[in-house]
Amino acid sequence: MSAGFGTRAIHSAQRPDPTTGAVIPALSLSTTYKQSAAGVHTGFEYSRSGNPNRNNFEEAIADLEGAKYGLAFASGSATTASIVNSLQQGAHIISVNDVYGGTYRYFTKVAVHGGIETTFVNLDDPANIESYFKPNTKLVWLETPTNPTLRIIDIQAIAERAHAHGALLVVDNTFMSPYFQKPISLGADIVIHSVTKYINGHSDVVMGVAVTSNEEFYQKLAFMQNSLGAVPSAFDCFLARRGLMTLEVRMQRHAENAQAVAEYLETNQYVDAVIYPGLPSHPNHELAKRQQTGFGGMISFRVKGTLDNVNKILSNLEHITLAESLGGVESLVEVPAIMTHGAVSPEDRAILGITDTLIRVSIGIENKEDLIADLKQALEKAY
């Protein structure tokens, strides 16, 4: 029987304990497991290689993304590193140029020393990618919406081009979550998340995950997961699985609030531009409507003046907290040029439009009227 997203988010991989009948799987903190004979076990032997709570989370997130397999990692960055480490020395990656600063840092400062070359490409027009493929191109790496300028990349069009050249497509789905976007259904081979963000949703877990239906890649990445050992704790997996249960209702509220806040910001005299895929003014609004089922909770906007005005806005906010990260129930605000994307070179930031007056907001699930009032009073005080 086919079930809805919210139902599967609650029930997928949730099996009552056969001994106690506990509805919620117990937290399994054991690092090792008894074997009935040498090499004979119940599927668990050492917790780095597998843990009941981790398996439970991996199965559930794979189901929600429409994939066969899930593999959880200690962070989103550990997920990225494990995928890249699965490549042979001399491999080439094509990445969207507007990518998370930590991913940019890993590609340019770490992977390069392992003989992995990355080319950053503007993919607003999918045809732009064609001239950048090489015989050794193994991966194409996307974020959509991009971080922090919220450009929308056509997943299906890029997937077709990647596969035509024998490359796999990785899509970072952190900003949308599987509730609003399912890249596997659009042709992606691997989907990754910083579970820290919307999947867990409460700003109390650092974790990452990759899902895929590609058996060969799954086996390769599972080997990396076990060999590199960048695995999450059982408790983090327990919390992240609990977070999944409310993902649907949280994402609905994030998007409802973000739409209202974005529409307000467009009317504010101190705001030069609002970037939110749910606004008709967004250049990729129609594409967002086609490949997403909602517009998410992330907004970026440009304000008039200088960094001094930005800092005055930030210092006067009462309900919206100045902090890195995103996707929690609380609203967070940051300045990408100085904070999350400080690792991106000044030249590349200029090309991408990541200026000192660009503000990124992760809209939480507070009352939208309070968020609008908070932004209004802070903007007025800043000017």
Question: Annotated active-site positions, please?
Answer: 48, 100, 172, 197
User: Is the separation of the CB atoms in 360 and 341 below 8 Å?
Assistant: no
Alpha helices by DSSP H, 317-367: 346-352
Q: Is 340 exposed, middle or buried (0-12, 13-18, 19+ CB in 10 A)?
A: buried
CA end-to-end distance (rounded Å), the chain: 57
Residue 100: strand pairing partners: none
Tally of CA atoms within 13 A in the half-sphere of 14 that contains its CB: 15
Q: How far apart are CA 230 and CA 13, in angstroms?
A: 23
Question: Positive or negative CA dihedral for 75, 57, 248, 209?
Answer: positive
**Which of 190, 220, 236 lies closest to 75 in space, CA to CA?**
236
Which residues, listed in sequence order, are joined to residue 191 by a DSSP beta bridge?
A: 171, 211
CA atoms of 112 and 118, how far apart (whole Å): 8
Task: Provide the sign of the torsion angle of the four alpha carbons 222, 226, 227, 233, taken in this order.
Answer: positive
| Structure-token pair, residue 4 | 């809805």
User: Of 69, 73, 97, whose CA–CA distance to 85 is shortest?
Assistant: 73
HSE at residue 57, side-chain half, CA atoms within 13 A, is 32
Closest CA to 374 of 291, 249, 264, 284: 264
Sequence-distant (6+) residues with CB within 8 A of 31 are 46, 47
Which among 380, 346, 368, 345 has a CA at the least distance from the CA of 299? Answer: 368
Query: What distance in Å separates the CA atoms of residue 30 and residue 46, rounded to the nearest whole number?
Result: 9
